[in-house]
Amino acid sequence: MKFTRIAALLAFSASALTIAGCKDTLDKIDLSAASEELVFQNETIAFLNLSYIYDQNLPTWFGQTGVGLGSQNPSGLSEEAASDNDYLRGVVTQNTVTDFGTALAANNNYGKIRTINMFIRGLERSPIPTQPRNLLKGEALFFRAYRYFDLVRIYGGVPLVLTPQQAVGPEARDAAYLPRNTTTECFNQIVADLDSAIAYLPGKWTASGSWGRITSGAAAAFKARALLYAASPQFNPSDDATKWQRAFAASQQARTLLSANGFGLHASFDQLWFQEANNPEAVLVTGYNTTANGTQNAKNNQYDNATRPSYTGTGGGSNRPTWDLAKAFPMLDGKKPGESTKYAYSTQLFYKNRDPRFGKTIAYNGANWPLNGNANYKLWTYLRGTTSVEPSGATPTSFYLRKAINPTVAANTVNIVGTDWIEIRYAEVLLNLAEAACGVGNLTEAYTQLRAIRARAGIEAGTGDYGLQAGMSRAQMFDAILYERQIELAFEGKRFWDLRRWKKFETTLNGKRREGLIITLKTTGVPTDFATTRDNLDIDQVYTNYFTITTRVLDGTTAATYPDGIKWKPEYYFFALPQQSIDNNPQLIQNNTWGGAFDPLQ
């Protein structure tokens, strides 16, 4: 049983955290709710309330955090997948990103922060012994840091609320009108909470049912991620060396803590998603399961069923990779397509001699893709005339996303797949270390981490650099690391945020339209029995002799959709506070890129 699925008493936990400590004017006991004294009288009941905090705050698939921008699948905000959205059409307004300040609700960012603060306050007043109390507090502090980081990367500095605010009366209302803290103050608070979590938490939980609980290594890895953002051009346009040094030290700490507790790269790039307990790569995990039982509710990830071809499950066909992403993968020797002297590249045979991660991330026409327990299943997405040979719901890109799709489940059970979401993989920890090392000028360390990632991927070692350019400058190494992140972490919710923190939307995507492939069976020279014999034919001969390949624009070309291609605007590197949040709190000042006086770089 995974910790993140303990849900039998979550309803009780939610009500306890919502009303704990509240009494009416006559101080009568409310028999329908639990008091703070009851909730925090012992570790067991407090742990149930912590389960509610986990359930509220752990990200879902693609790292989605649940509100506003956090409810948007980030793959469609980059070149990974085509999605018609305001961000890439360049029509974001002040009120588009509503991640805070628009309502009083337990399920928005500040509502969740209030729940966490109430939990921490209850612990501090409780008779629970110091050691178990600190463990619970460390996990809660992690999630407070997680929520503030999510806000800061969207808006810059936000009001830091570290204790529960009073809820009733004009004095309480006036006290709740807090100004924005500086971005630096917010990052410092995030780091302070994570440092406390690192100090309080174990390097590894060993008790039965604790799989998925936050460890000191997970807190350190998240701290490294936060400080990497703080050092990136979005927050550090002057390339302040001290910010890179903090990120480098944090990344070193994360690697040291994790490796000391048995974490590391999984032996298999594709199978790492299907190992649960003792998975060395799973640093921060959101647990899912297949069915309900006496101690846990059903919590199916929905990703698997939504992503695979519709005719192999009960839904499906979403998250389709673009041709843009497919073209990006290196060749087997680690060189980019067209740059390898060992492996020729052509659009006609685009799949041939690629980085092994290509075929483990993208399912393409003619690929062997074990599904529904059929180890010999082959995917066909070509057109016969103008009609797809797919039984239903044809992909417009000719590709499907293959990453983390369980090949062994039966077609009638793909709607209850329980594959866990891994928000932080050990591979990201190494990539963060490589980037921070590059930031401080330690290119030797950066090379070491990239070699490790590429060696696990199965790229040929060559002379020992796995296709990496020798003697790269600092700027070239930064580009190489971002490229490696694009490939290694494809469709893991990282690409959009990488482009944003590096302020690379304009140079990478603007003016372009995302594309798919059209693979069409020729009308002459094709065997009449092709449809029944294709699975056994040589795929190179099939592509060479029987298919024509052209590209298809996925982003619209009309005036209503992408008239000038993708059009990301510079002000999107810090989004505007919604007008309703300013109306609700007159102390809030708008970002200077949206007509206000608040500088998110301070």
Do the beta carbons of residue 295 and residue 8 sit within 8 Å?
yes
Sign (positive/negative) of CA torsion 419, 57, 8, 295? positive
pLDDT given for residue 113 in this prediction: 96
N- to C-terminal Cα distance for the chain?
Answer: 45
Give the model confidence (pLDDT) of 520-543 as tens digits: 999 999 999 999 999 999 999 999
**Widest distance between CA atoms in the chain:** 90
Give the model confidence (pLDDT) of 362-415 as tens digits: 999 999 999 998 999 999 999 999 999 999 999 999 999 999 999 998 888 888
Higher pLDDT: 392 or 29? It is 392
Nearest to 210 by CA among 2, 33, 358, 66: 2
Nearest to 201 by CA among 213, 189, 212, 192: 213
557 burial (CB, 10 Å; 0-12 / 13-18 / 19+) is: exposed
CA–CA gap between residue 244 and residue 227 (Å, rounded): 8
Nearest to 505 by CA among 259, 233, 262, 315: 233
- Which residues touch 398 (CB under 8 Å, ≥6 apart)? 323, 364, 365, 381, 382, 516, 517, 518, 519
Q: Is the predicted pLDDT of residue 166 greater than 70, yes or no?
A: yes
Per-residue confidence band for 20, with pLDDT thresholds at 50, 70 and 90 = very low
Residue 107 CA: distances (Å) to CA of 13, 19, 508: 14, 15, 35
Give the model confidence (pLDDT) of 147-159 as tens digits: 999 999 999 999 9
Q: What six digits make up the tokens of 535?
A: 């699975």
Q: What six digits make up the tokens of 297?
A: 């509710």
Q: What six digits make up the tokens of 46?
A: 């407090």
CA–CA gap between residue 285 and residue 264 (Å, rounded): 15
pLDDT given for residue 296 in this prediction: 57
Higher pLDDT: 146 or 312? It is 146
One-letter amino acid of 403 = K
Q: Check residue 21 and give left, alpha or beta (phi > 0: left; psi -120 to 50: alpha).
A: left
| 80-98 residues labelled b (16+ CB within 10 A) or e (exposed) | bbbbeeebbbbebebebbb
pLDDT given for residue 24 in this prediction: 38
CA–CA gap between residue 397 and residue 82 (Å, rounded): 9
pLDDT given for residue 321 in this prediction: 98
One-letter amino acid of 241 = A
pLDDT given for residue 7 in this prediction: 39
Nearest to 77 by CA among 495, 390, 462, 573: 495
pLDDT given for residue 2 in this prediction: 60
Per-residue confidence band for 292, with pLDDT thresholds at 50, 70 and 90 = low
One-letter amino acid of 248 = F
Residue tagged 């296709």 (tokens) = 467
CA–CA gap between residue 132 and residue 44 (Å, rounded): 10
Strand partners, 551: 517
Give the model confidence (pLDDT) of 492-502 as tens digits: 999 999 999 99
The reported pTM is 0.93
* Mean pLDDT, residues 486-490 taken together: 98
